[in-house]
A = this chain, B = another copy of it.
Amino acid sequence: MLAEQKRHRRRATQGNSPVTLADVARIAGVSEITVSRVLRDVASVAAGTRKRVLAAVGDTGYVRNQVAGTLASATSNLVGVVIPSLSNIVFADVLRGIDGGLGPSGYRPVVGITGYDPTVEETLVGSLLAWKPAAMIIVGFEHTDVTRRWLKQSSIRVAELMDIDSAPIDLAVGLSHRAAGQATARHLVARGYRRFGYVGHDWNTDRRARLRWEGLVQALAEAGLALVDQRLNDGPSSTQAGREGLAALLRGGERPDVVVFSNDDMAVGGVFQCLAENIALKHELALFGFNGLDIGQALPMPLSTVRSNRFRIGELAVEHILSRPKRGETLETIDTGFEIVEGATA
């Protein structure tokens, strides 16, 4: 019956380039596999043949279909990237580092933004994993059980970035935020500060900021000191939040001689607040940040802070993954360290 003829006449009806390898092969007068070889630059193909193939590719405007290629070869060149936010330049830096590390390797990042929500993260990881990426790069250690299971079970490489204060699923690249907090305290204590204030953000969701705070408080305790006052906002970090946080702190009781901020964005807000209130930076009130953002260093008085090597973190993660594409037996942790930036505000 007629149905027999009608069945299965599917075609790449959906837009895109309807030109396939087969078309190119026919035009070039070779087999599909030869075209494939030329395009992937594998195996030996005679110079003349190659030229004919490339010519055919050129005038058909053929574009490879990586989807088919990936399915056939079971080797994708996508890398899943999961970050909490892009409002914060810090993660844009990480993403830059990832892209930079990927470079001309042909690998492409597929990104997802969680908004710091582990449930969203779970959904994202699921849909990224569905693309059978060559690797997954994800910020932080805080995942749902399902997420963690998926990540473990997919035997691709998994890099958890920014933080190294926990055991990774496979590879961790970052710095110890606790150590950074401690270093901050020791540095400031050594410079003679005694009355410490703190202005924070996202108190309940930003684990790394919390770790820094813990390190700070702990090292202060070891020096026989404690925070004289603090303002712990629960909103996201921003310059404005920093201004308001410092303003509130200063309206409070005991006046600190140095205020540590949860990060540079906040600290820059603090600097602006001092400018607005005519408080002499460092002499009257010292300020200290975290991250080492450009903006802080471009201030009339460069911000005293701790440099985290964000770009490098992304880049290093990628380099590491590309150099060992198979997951190994042992967990790895790469410490990218941090440096105190003396600056002029503390």
Q: Which residue of B65, B108, B156, B299 contacts A110 across the interface (Cβ within 8 Å)?
A: B108
Q: Does A190 contact B (CB under 8 A)?
A: no
Chain B residues with Cβ below 8 Å from A110 are 78, 108-111
Asked if A298 and B243 sit within 8 Å, CB to CB, the answer is: yes
Question: Are A65 and B239 touching (Cβ within 8 A)?
Answer: no
Cβ contact within 8 Å between A14 and B75: yes
Once A109-B111, A276-B300 are accepted as A-B contacts, the answer to whether A16 and B68 lie under 8 Å apart by CB is no
A48-56, A146-154, A204-212, A219-227: which lies at the B interface?
Answer: A146-154
Give the chain B neighbours of A127 by CB distance below 8 A: 66, 106, 108
The CA of A74 and the CA of B18, in the complex, are separated in Å by 11
Mark out the residues of chain A between 309 and 342 whose CB falls within 8 Å of any chain B CB in the assembled complex: 326-327
A106 CA to B150 CA, complexed, in Å = 18
Query: What separation, in Å, do the CA atoms of A89 and B95 have in the docked complex?
Result: 12
- Cα-based distance from A326 to B14 in the complex (angstroms): 9
Specify which chain B residues have a CB less than 8 angstroms from the CB of A154 in the assembled complex.
15-17, 63
A251-259, A267-275, A284-292 - the one binding chain B = A267-275
Instruction: Tell me if A99 and B71 are in contact (CB < 8 A).
Output: no
A152 to chain B, nearest CB (A): 9
Residue pair B111, A294 in contact (C-beta under 8 Å): no
A13 within 8 A of B: yes
Residues of B within 8 A of A268 (CB): 295, 298
Give per-residue flags for A61-77: 1 if the beta carbon is below 8 A from chain B beta carbons, else 0.
Answer: 10111111011001110
A126 to B268 alpha-carbon distance, docked (Å): 41
Q: Are B65 and A67 in contact (CB under 8 A)?
A: no
| Interface residue A167 (Cβ < 8 Å from any Cβ of B) | no
Residues of B within 8 A of A123 (CB): 104
Contact B67 A71 (CB under 8 A): yes
B63 and A239 contacting across the interface, CB-CB below 8 Å: no
CB contacts (< 8 Å) of A297 on chain B: these are: 240
A128-136, A174-182, A192-200: which lies at the interface = A128-136
Chain A: residues with CB nearer than 8 A to chain B? Answer: 12-17, 61, 63-68, 70-71, 74-76, 78, 86-87, 89, 92-93, 95-96, 99, 104, 106, 108-113, 123, 126-132, 149-150, 153-156, 238-240, 243, 268-269, 272-273, 275-276, 294-295, 297-300, 326-327
Could you list 7 examples of A-B contacts with CB < 8 Å? A15-B326, A66-B130, A67-B70, A67-B132, A71-B71, A86-B95, A96-B113
Closest A-B pairs by Cβ, 4 of them = A15-B155, A239-B298, A276-B300, A66-B130
